[in-house]
Amino acid sequence: MEWNDRPAPGPDRPLRRCRRRTALAQAGATIGDLDHETQAFGLAVPMGVVSQTGITGLTLGGGLGRLRRRYGLSSDNLLHADVVTADGRLVTAGPEDHADLLWALRGGGGNFGVVTSLTYRAHPIGPEVFFAVVLHPLSDASGALRFFRQWQATAPEEVSAIGVLWHAPSVDEIPAEYHGSPVALYLAMHCGSPADGESPASSATCRTRRWTSSPASTTRPRRPRARSTSGSSEEP
């Protein structure tokens, strides 16, 4: 993995530091590898939610994660890719050269050659972000998911959330009596400042409390390190 954060060259701006905010990663990297390097600079590339996932298959297939509503899919943030084509040539696909190949790679999967490295646009994220978890018993799932859909339609674009039907994992944030039980869950992350994130997350949890008198648990919103834009293998 290499980091490209040098001032842009040019005699017209000798004193102005212009950060290009791009990250170059080799194709075998995982999301966790990329997060680890970019967070050292207070930046993140939109990726998926499980840190052990490989970045290349994910990017070539699109790549949905916790930054998607604000910054798009992983493939939207792919600027260049080094590719070995079927006839054995190594080419760099980007806006200047092989632009059609870059277009095809952004969602076209592994059909166009073997990708050896990828350059992404990175964004200022963290180091802390606001993350909320809301849990309902499965018997309330219909109304809970209906509420979730309405709340999502008005939430700011910094909020990316998922609603899932799942068996509650055995983690400290969830009451022990629900461990292993079927539940409806929302997981929501706000990628702006934690203070800005508190408001939409609170509105989700408070309105949910009003909507149903007996949610199994409305966990306190927490503030993980921004590295959890990818999350852990515990998450759905």
Ligand X SMILES: Cc1cc2nc3c(=O)[nH]c(=O)nc-3n(C[C@H](O)[C@H](O)[C@H](O)COP(=O)(O)OP(=O)(O)OC[C@H]3O[C@@H](n4cnc5c(N)ncnc54)[C@H](O)[C@@H]3O)c2cc1C
Return the DSSP state at 29: -
- Pull the structure tokens for residue 7: 């001032």
Q: Would you say 39 or 59 has its CB closer to ligand X? A: 59
Q: Would you say 32 or 197 has its CB closer to ligand X? A: 32
Q: How far is the CB of 70 from ligand X (least distance, A)?
A: 16
- Pull the structure tokens for residue 141: 């799932």
Q: In degrees rounded to 5, what are phi and psi of residue 149?
A: -65, -45
CA-closest candidate to residue 27, choices 61, 1, 56, 57: 56
Q: Is the sign of the CA dihedral 188, 46, 182, 177 positive or negative?
A: negative
Q: How far is the CB of 228 from ligand X (least distance, A)?
A: 12
Q: Would you say 27 or 174 has its CB closer to ligand X? A: 27
Q: How far is the CB of 29 from ligand X (least distance, A)?
A: 9
Beta-bridge mates of residue 183: 137, 166
- Using CB under 6 A as the binding criterion, the count of chain residues that bind ligand X stands at 19
Query: Binding to ligand X (CB under 6 A): which residues in 27-86?
Result: 27, 48-50, 53-54, 56-58, 60-65
Query: Binding to ligand X (CB under 6 A): which residues in 89-128?
Result: 109-110, 114-115
Q: Would you say 26 or 212 has its CB closer to ligand X? A: 26
Q: How far is the CB of 60 from ligand X (least distance, A)?
A: 5
- Pull the structure tokens for residue 169: 């994992």
By three-state DSSP, how is residue 21 classified? coil
CB 74 within 8 A of CB 68: no
Q: Would you say 106 or 147 has its CB closer to ligand X? A: 106
Q: How far is the CB of 14 from ligand X (least distance, A)?
A: 39
- Pull the structure tokens for residue 136: 């309902």
Give contact residues for ligand X (rule: CB under 6 A). 27, 48-50, 53-54, 56-58, 60-65, 109-110, 114-115
